[in-house]
Amino acid sequence: MLALLLVLQQSIADSSSFRALALPPATSTRSASGTPGPRYWQQRADYTLQATLDTGTNVLRGQGRIYYVNRSPETLDHVWVQLDQNLFAPNSISRALNLPPLRFAGGVVFDFTSKGFAGGITVDRFAVAGRPLTTKVFGTMMRVELARPLAPNLSITFDIAWHFPIPPYGGGRMGRVGSRFYELGQWYPRMAVYDDVHGWNTLPFLGAGEFYLEFGDFDVSLTVPAGFQVTATGALANPTVIRTPQERARLARAFTSPGQVVQVVTRQEAVAGATRPVPGTRTWRFTASGVRDFAWAAGSGLRWDASVWDGILVQTFYHPEATPWEESNMMLRFALRHFSGALGQYPWPQISAVEGLIEGMEYPTVIYCPSLRKREDQYWVLMHELGHQWFPMQVGSDERRYPWMDEGFNTFADYDAAEAFFKGTPYADSVRRELLAAYAATAIPGSEQPMITKPDEVRELYWTAYQKPALMLTILREAVIGREEFDRAFREYARRWKGKHAQPVDFFRTMSDLTGRDLDWFWRSWIYTTARLDQAVDSVRTRDDSTFLYLSNRAQMVLPVTLELRYADGTSETRSLPVEMWNLGSRFTYRMPSAKRLASVVIDPRVIYPDVNRENNSWRR
């Protein structure tokens, strides 16, 4: 009897497109409305570091302290630390996998093999109060046993020292050119995130999946050759020691003439500086607060432009031979203003873009970007890396699991920023169309993977983590929610989770909370499946005083329908049908109380949907 009941139950299982998504329940940490809950907590990690760049051996040596606060309700008897440089260790997983390079649009390639370089980090000391702790390294992760368990609301200070050889090409996200230019990222032992959803986040760094990091304050002293320029996360704390009077005067001019690009180091000065030997070293000190990471770049012979927008210093550092970097400062400033308006004010005192070998990589308040030939590409990469200052530098999502929440949200915002910068040009009018072209080329049934797949398991990461989420949010805004309400909700998500760790459910609930829409059906098909869309107009009939449009949904994805109706008398109109039209199944008859003679009907006339068969989208008398 019980078995029969179970069979009956199975036979009536809800397979509706509109059934609820199985989401984790709300907690006191993450509320049902999508806000951080009343007992929201996250760990804190502050770093005080001193590092020396040895350009003779290309080794980075560091030491310092990590102040770690356990704000979780649990007692910790061990902590996990990220040793990202072990991506390059001789025995690393990535090396064994011999991963194929990641390919992006415009010929941009990230090669995780590090092109044969063998390195890895050596942790020379991990101690508390002078007593070394027991550690065990698992690839890019290290478990540290605490001598005494760390109870809730208590802190611990780790005393650390480490060194590693700097790779010439650090997996596409860091590296150097000989011994004259360095871009440093993932260069110190970083605390793994301990959160309320996964506990310790110990997924290894393999290449494709980026970072998940705690927020905190940094005080970093960097000792480099005296002739080097250094730019880093945060703000320079000892400018009177480091800056020449001329540099200080030129920087001051940037502040007194906002909007004007001031050459702090001119081309001539940069070229002269590249060859002039300066003996000895200098120590640059940077401080940053409320950031999740710290990166820096150092080298000789760099040009340096500066301008100011709304009190924020916009800096570009580039090699004299880089083209067309003269315009980059203005591009960056434009994008800074655009994103501040769209997503919330940029919260830090400065942003720096560094031109170099890295194809494009983001860190708090500092971004790496190459020199690109096409103006559109140059703006895109600069602006994209800047957009990361909101996702994930402010909304600190888990990039190793959910790249669609940072790369994807950012790419969506990037299309707006590109359309704004190139407004009035054919590029601006057409750039977003590339998403539909990418859909046709990449979203192949049987090989496409759902957006929720972890990046290290994704074959077409550019599509899955960047382009498809951008297409998804474009459709959500333009065809489901409407621009004004969508923008308000999206911005509110960024505000609610600023400085915090957002999970997918927090985004879903915020969007529903602000728009009043149940969107489970939308997230299911776009994020958790590879459902396809095929809307069709089957036939049109007129009876008595009514016109009947016979519409069908021939694939798995549901979306509202937009109809363009042209009449025999030469008039036309556009009508939007709500997604609830598919409540009763995949066929829908739309009755219009009018016998006005129709000449043609077109579904999705603006061509914003990735409809897999457009041939059945129109009807002609």
Site of tokens 């072209």: 437
Question: Min. distance of Cβ 460 from Zn ion in angstroms?
Answer: 16
Tell me whether residue 105 or residue 444 sits nearer to Zn ion (CB atom): 105
CA 334 to chain centre: 19
Tell me whether residue 139 or residue 469 sits nearer to Zn ion (CB atom): 469
Burial class (CB in 10 A: 0-12, 13-18, 19+), 599: middle
Beta carbons within 8 Å of 312's beta carbon, 6+ residues apart? 336, 346, 348, 349, 350, 351
Site of tokens 């434009």: 334
Give the tokens for residue 560: 């509202």
Report the b/e string of 475-485 with b at 16+ CB within 10 A.
Answer: bbbbbbbeeeb
Tell me whether residue 369 or residue 443 sits nearer to Zn ion (CB atom): 369
Question: Min. distance of Cβ 384 from Zn ion in angstroms?
Answer: 6
Question: Min. distance of Cβ 102 from Zn ion in angstroms?
Answer: 11
The number of residues that bind Zn ion (CB under 5 A) is 1
Segment interacting with Zn ion, rule: CB under 5 A, options 97-105, 262-270, 337-345, 400-408:
400-408
Angle (CA) 258-390-139 rounded to 5° is 125
Question: Min. distance of Cβ 453 from Zn ion in angstroms?
Answer: 17
CA 64 to chain centre: 29
Segment interacting with Zn ion, rule: CB under 5 A, options 43-51, 279-287, 406-414, 531-539:
406-414
| Eight-class DSSP state of 226 | T
Look at phi and psi of residue 543 and say left if phi exceeds 0, alpha if psi is from -120 to 50, else beta: beta
Q: Is 399 among the residues that bind Zn ion (CB under 5 A)?
A: no
- Distance from C-alpha of 444 to C-alpha of 439, rounded to nearest angstrom: 8
Segment interacting with Zn ion, rule: CB under 5 A, options 317-325, 405-413, 565-573, 593-601:
405-413
User: ω before 279 within 30° of 0 (cis)?
Assistant: no
Segment interacting with Zn ion, rule: CB under 5 A, options 194-202, 402-410, 497-505, 539-547:
402-410
Site of tokens 């990361």: 388
Tell me whether residue 407 or residue 506 sits nearer to Zn ion (CB atom): 407
Tell me whether residue 195 or residue 407 sits nearer to Zn ion (CB atom): 407
Question: Min. distance of Cβ 455 from Zn ion in angstroms?
Answer: 12
Beta bridge partners of 138: 141
User: In a 3-state reduction of DSSP, which class is residue 216?
Assistant: strand
Question: Min. distance of Cβ 521 from Zn ion in angstroms?
Answer: 28
Look at phi and psi of residue 34 and say left if phi exceeds 0, alpha if psi is from -120 to 50, else beta: left
Question: Min. distance of Cβ 410 from Zn ion in angstroms?
Answer: 6
- Distance from C-alpha of 211 to C-alpha of 398, rounded to nearest angstrom: 7
Segment interacting with Zn ion, rule: CB under 5 A, options 186-194, 260-268, 401-409, 441-449:
401-409
- Distance from C-alpha of 178 to C-alpha of 180, rounded to nearest angstrom: 6
Question: Min. distance of Cβ 52 from Zn ion in angstroms?
Answer: 30
Q: Are 233 and 367 in contact (CB under 8 A)?
A: no
User: In a 3-state reduction of DSSP, which class is residue 570?
Assistant: coil
Q: Is 407 among the residues that bind Zn ion (CB under 5 A)?
A: yes
Tell me whether residue 188 or residue 391 sits nearer to Zn ion (CB atom): 391
Which one-letter amino acid corresponds to residue 516? G
Segment interacting with Zn ion, rule: CB under 5 A, options 72-80, 270-278, 404-412, 496-504:
404-412
Counting runs of H as helices and runs of E as strands, what totals does the chain give?
15, 33
Question: Min. distance of Cβ 408 from Zn ion in angstroms?
Answer: 9
Residue 572: CB atoms within 10 A of its CB come to: 13
Q: C-alpha dihedral over 478, 484, 485, 487, to 10 degrees?
A: 80
Question: Min. distance of Cβ 352 from Zn ion in angstroms?
Answer: 17
Tell me whether residue 355 or residue 407 sits nearer to Zn ion (CB atom): 407
Tell me whether residue 36 or residue 403 sits nearer to Zn ion (CB atom): 403
Nearest residue to Zn ion, by Cβ distance, number only:
407
User: In a 3-state reduction of DSSP, which class is residue 427?
Assistant: helix
Q: Is 359 among the residues that bind Zn ion (CB under 5 A)?
A: no
- Distance from C-alpha of 196 to C-alpha of 47, rounded to nearest angstrom: 23
Question: Min. distance of Cβ 621 from Zn ion in angstroms?
Answer: 49
Which ranges of 317-421 does DSSP label H, i.e. alpha helix? 328-343, 375-387, 407-421
Tell me whether residue 269 or residue 407 sits nearer to Zn ion (CB atom): 407
Segment interacting with Zn ion, rule: CB under 5 A, options 166-174, 395-403, 407-415, 506-514:
407-415
Question: Min. distance of Cβ 411 from Zn ion in angstroms?
Answer: 7
Tell me whether residue 191 or residue 383 sits nearer to Zn ion (CB atom): 383
Segment interacting with Zn ion, rule: CB under 5 A, options 26-34, 132-140, 191-199, 403-411:
403-411
Tell me whether residue 383 or residue 602 sits nearer to Zn ion (CB atom): 383
Tell me whether residue 407 or residue 456 sits nearer to Zn ion (CB atom): 407
Residues found near Zn ion in the complex (CB under 5 A): 407
